[in-house]
């Protein structure tokens, strides 16, 4: 039986085929994703600047030691600090969003000062305090480098339970900052080990023996001239981590460290010279500082997912495997296999959902911050509306942070696995991306805790609505999904055709119904806890599983509705492909949670089967535009930083070049000490009797 030689792959021509006939104008989609041509061109300029700057070399990151990684990161700090203070804020924010993809560890190290430490000053300092710290160099990092001391060895998400204390000594007008126990040691503090001179420390305010809860204090850690630790301050290095080794995380212990009373940030709570504590009229205003980090992680999830999908989709379009049995035929592209389409393209739809949701939630957050800034000390009806909006945004951002970061982490790993064995290589870009991104699921609030916060808000809002209170905008779907008696409305899908089952309007109604059902179930569980005689907080704990589930269903519904809203506003030339992506997001997510739709009575079993068929059809249609969709993300090869995700498709040549250049042949350092003795060892024991098994 004769066989034919396999046809060698031609990856350049393979990927060129993918771009031959896109169904939409790629550049126009880039503008739509970025928010306009001007922003796209600014991003392209910044990406080119980074690529041409020797300081920003990233291709050799996998081979750097811990010390080299930290030193490389620190070498970039001054240049970026100068740019951050000399260039427009918009440009700085866009630069940082790109850097968060290019070098997430550096982004963290830089962001600890500018985002967390300086952010604490912006959110909690009075105008005079802000002017003082600005004059000290807090913005420009000239004289001060800051860190953020919230997390402790024994406490993370429970900020109210922090053990560090700040006790007012009225005689000398100072606070005494102290770590009374081992578990009060500040832990995971980015920048503490090597870099920070000052820390925004979260500690229990104690005045005249009374505790007033957790407040923020600026504590000097090191002498700004000698860099020696200040009296009473002990600091250590936390060493190697799962990812983001560019940031020097450390621990801090305070032993009766004295700071001026004015170093307590007093925008909200104030402490006078005589020891009078003045609490803010609107305690909820402190929520605003927490929301920014959560909103930024929705955007970061979208940006990182775009890179992962660019790598996986381009590789799937040039990698050929099996098939090609006919004489002279090439093997089949991975992207042409339906199972590979099903593997990747729903992730593409999820990424677009995050992109457009991030856009809306960021705009809403900026609007809210403007309203809070204008609010002052007001307590009128307008203030009540702003506070309601603040609570809604706080809860929504909590759910989005949790489910978008979980979604992105899954996208990274699914894309990595889709690369086959090459996905395990540090040089193909996704193994380190997973390690670097995983922290998003626990910092800025553990995801499970955040979902419970969101779920608690959903239960409370549903109970308020039952009493006649108006529903907030992002829960307006409850109006149609909940009946006058408080149960689920009869909103079953009518018809069984693919179009009837999978239209965007039907999917929006379906998810609204499912989310409403989940919220009502959480309300019932909460009320069942109360009926058992549990206190309110205990009843919320009793219903924690259903609260988490309600938060999940609500967040998926929110994502779909925000995606659909952006589709409606999109240019006509983009609407068909974006509509199909939105349908795929809603339908695939529904299939993954099909039991919920059956339980809510919206879909029947046969309709779910029809929906499954639509998902396969949508994947096959989107497959035709898969590479063009990743091209619209507009990441340069430098930002993608993976030989398998190259724009020109030349994956094998560049992969081989990268691996061989970073790992040149050289003598094995332990050959003489370990390998040679292994090979040349002799058996010095006496031979024993032979075992004659044949005679038994």
**Residues 624-632, mean pLDDT to the nearest whole number:** 97
Identify the residue whose tokens are 């004769």.
Answer: 2
- Rounded to whole angstroms, how far apart are CA atoms 507 and 529? 33
Q: What would the two tokens of residue 376 be? A: 């002052």
Decide if 246 contacts 153 (C-beta within 8 A): no
Decide if 509 contacts 502 (C-beta within 8 A): no
Q: What would the two tokens of residue 327 be? A: 């004489």
User: Using 50, 70 and 90 to split pLDDT, how confident is the model at 4?
Assistant: low
Q: Write down the pLDDT at residue 123.
A: 83
> Within 13 A of 334's CA, how many CA atoms are on the CB side?
22
- Rounded to whole angstroms, how far apart are CA atoms 638 and 207? 54
Q: Write down the pLDDT at residue 668.
A: 92
pLDDT digits (tens, 9 = 90+) for 28-59: 999 999 999 999 999 999 999 999 999 899 98
> Within 13 A of 110's CA, how many CA atoms are on the CB side?
26
Kindly tell me if the per-residue pLDDT of 1 is higher than 70: no
User: Using 50, 70 and 90 to split pLDDT, how confident is the model at 350?
Assistant: very high
Kindly tell me if the per-residue pLDDT of 300 is higher than 80: yes
Q: Write down the pLDDT at residue 287.
A: 60
* Beta strands 250-254; 277-278: pairing state: unpaired
Kindly tell me if the per-residue pLDDT of 626 is higher than 80: yes
Kindly tell me if the per-residue pLDDT of 686 is higher than 70: no
User: Where would I find the beta strands (DSSP E) of 306-392?
Assistant: none
Kindly tell me if the per-residue pLDDT of 284 is higher than 80: no
Q: Write down the pLDDT at residue 371.
A: 77
Q: Write down the pLDDT at residue 268.
A: 85
**Residues 151-156, mean pLDDT to the nearest whole number:** 91
Kindly tell me if the per-residue pLDDT of 286 is higher than 70: no
- Between 694 and 451, where is the model more confident? 451
Q: Per DSSP, what are the bridge partners of residue 204? A: 165, 214
Q: What is the H or E stretch that residue 205 is in?
A: strand 198-207
Q: Write down the pLDDT at residue 401.
A: 94
**Residues 109-136, mean pLDDT to the nearest whole number:** 90
Least confident of 199-208, 242-251, 426-435, 469-478: 469-478
Kindly tell me if the per-residue pLDDT of 254 is higher than 60: yes
- Rounded to whole angstroms, how far apart are CA atoms 441 and 438? 6
Residues with active-site annotation: 444
Kindly tell me if the per-residue pLDDT of 451 is higher than 70: yes
Kindly tell me if the per-residue pLDDT of 384 is higher than 80: no
Decide if 34 contacts 43 (C-beta within 8 A): yes
User: Using 50, 70 and 90 to split pLDDT, how confident is the model at 271?
Assistant: very high
DSSP sequence for 61-128: GGG--HHHHHHHHHHHHHHHHHHHHHS-HHHHHHHHHHHHHH-HHHHHHHHIIIIIIHHHHHHHS-HH
**Residues 355-374, mean pLDDT to the nearest whole number:** 85
Q: Write down the pLDDT at residue 285.
A: 61
- pTM tops 0.85, yes or no: yes
User: Using 50, 70 and 90 to split pLDDT, how confident is the model at 386?
Assistant: confident
Q: Write down the pLDDT at residue 142.
A: 86
Number of Cβ within a 10 Å radius of residue 35 = 12
How open is the CA angle 559-569-454, to the nearest 5 degrees? 20
Decide if 332 contacts 321 (C-beta within 8 A): yes
pLDDT digits (tens, 9 = 90+) for 472-522: 888 888 877 776 666 677 788 888 899 999 999 999 999 999 999 999 999
Identify the residue whose tokens are 């005679």.
Answer: 695
pLDDT digits (tens, 9 = 90+) for 77-111: 888 888 888 888 888 889 999 999 999 999 999 98
How open is the CA angle 574-578-584, to the nearest 5 degrees? 160
């Amino acid at each position: 039986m004769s066989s034919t030689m396999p046809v060698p792959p031609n990856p350049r021509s393979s990927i060129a085929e993918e771009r031959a006939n896109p169904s939409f104008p790629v550049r126009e989609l880039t503008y739509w994703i970025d928010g306009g041509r001007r922003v796209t061109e600014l991003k392209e300029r910044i990406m080119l600047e980074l690529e041409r700057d020797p300081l920003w070399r990233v291709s050799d990151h996998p081979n750097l030691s811990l010390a080299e990684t930290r030193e490389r990161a620190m070498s970039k700090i001054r240049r970026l600090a100068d740019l951050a203070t000399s260039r427009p804020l918009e440009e700085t924010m866009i630069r940082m969003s790109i850097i968060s993809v290019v070098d997430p560890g550096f982004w963290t190290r830089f962001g600890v000062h500018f985002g967390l430490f300086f952010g604490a000053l912006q959110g909690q300092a009075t105008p005079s305090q802000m002017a003082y710290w600005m004059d000290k160099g807090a913005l420009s990092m000239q004289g001060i480098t800051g860190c953020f001391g919230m997390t402790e060895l024994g406490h993370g998400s429970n900020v109210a339970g922090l053990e560090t204390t700040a006790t007012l000594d009225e005689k000398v007008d100072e606070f005494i900052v102290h770590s009374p126990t081992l578990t009060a040691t500040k832990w995971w503090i980015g920048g503490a080990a090597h870099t920070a001179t000052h820390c925004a420390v979260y500690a229990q305010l104690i005045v005249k023996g009374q505790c007033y809860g957790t407040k923020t204090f600026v504590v000097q850690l090191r002498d700004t001239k000698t860099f020696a630790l200040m009296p009473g301050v002990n600091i250590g290095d936390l060493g190697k981590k799962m990812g983001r080794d560019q940031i020097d995380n450390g621990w801090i212990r305070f032993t009766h460290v004295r700071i001026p009373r004015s170093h307590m940030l007093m925008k909200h709570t104030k402490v006078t010279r005589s020891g009078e504590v003045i609490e803010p009229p609107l305690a909820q205003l402190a929520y605003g500082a927490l929301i920014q980090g959560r909103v930024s992680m929705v955007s970061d999830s979208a940006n990182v997912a775009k890179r992962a999908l660019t790598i996986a989709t381009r590789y799937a379009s040039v990698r050929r495997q099996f098939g090609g049995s006919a004489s002279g035929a090439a093997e089949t592209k991975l992207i042409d296999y339906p199972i590979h389409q099903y593997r990747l393209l729903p992730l593409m739809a999820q990424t677009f959902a995050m992109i457009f949701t991030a856009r809306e939630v960021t705009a809403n957050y900026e609007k809210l911050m403007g309203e809070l800034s204008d609010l002052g000390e007001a307590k009128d009806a307008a203030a009540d509306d702003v506070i309601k909006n603040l609570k809604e945004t706080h809860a929504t951002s909590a759910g989005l942070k949790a489910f978008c970061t979980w979604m992105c982490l899954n996208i990274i790993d699914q894309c990595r696995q889709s690369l086959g064995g090459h996905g395990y290589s540090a040089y193909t870009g996704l193994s380190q991306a997973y390690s670097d991104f995983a922290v998003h699921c626990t910092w800025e609030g553990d995801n499970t805790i955040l979902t419970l916060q969101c779920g608690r808000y959903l239960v409370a809002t549903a109970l308020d609505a039952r009493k006649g209170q108006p529903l907030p905008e992002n829960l307006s779907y409850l109006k149609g999904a909940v009946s006058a008696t408080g149960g689920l409305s009869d909103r079953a899908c009518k018809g069984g055709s693919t179009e009837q089952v999978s239209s965007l309007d039907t999917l929006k109604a379906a998810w609204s119904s499912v989310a409403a059902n989940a919220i009502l179930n959480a309300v019932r569980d909460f009320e069942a806890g109360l009926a058992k005689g549990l206190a309110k907080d205990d009843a919320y704990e009793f219903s924690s599983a259903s609260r988490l589930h309600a938060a999940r269903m609500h967040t998926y519904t929110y994502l779909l509705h925000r995606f659909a809203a952006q589709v409606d506003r999109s240019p006509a030339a983009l609407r068909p492909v974006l509509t199909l992506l939105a349908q795929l997001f809603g339908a695939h997510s529904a299939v993954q949670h099909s039991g919920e739709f059956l339980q809510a009575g919206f879909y029947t079993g046969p309709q779910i089967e029809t929906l499954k068929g639509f998902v396969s059809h949508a994947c096959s249609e989107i497959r035709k535009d898969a590479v063009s969709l990743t091209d619209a993300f507009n990441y340069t090869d430098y930002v993608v930083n993976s030989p398998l995700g190259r724009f020109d498709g030349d994956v094998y040549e560049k992969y081989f070049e990268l691996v061989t250049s970073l790992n040149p042949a050289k003598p094995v350092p332990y050959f003489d000490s370990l390998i040679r003795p292994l090979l040349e060892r002799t058996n010095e024991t006496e031979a024993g009797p032979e075992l004659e098994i044949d005679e038994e």
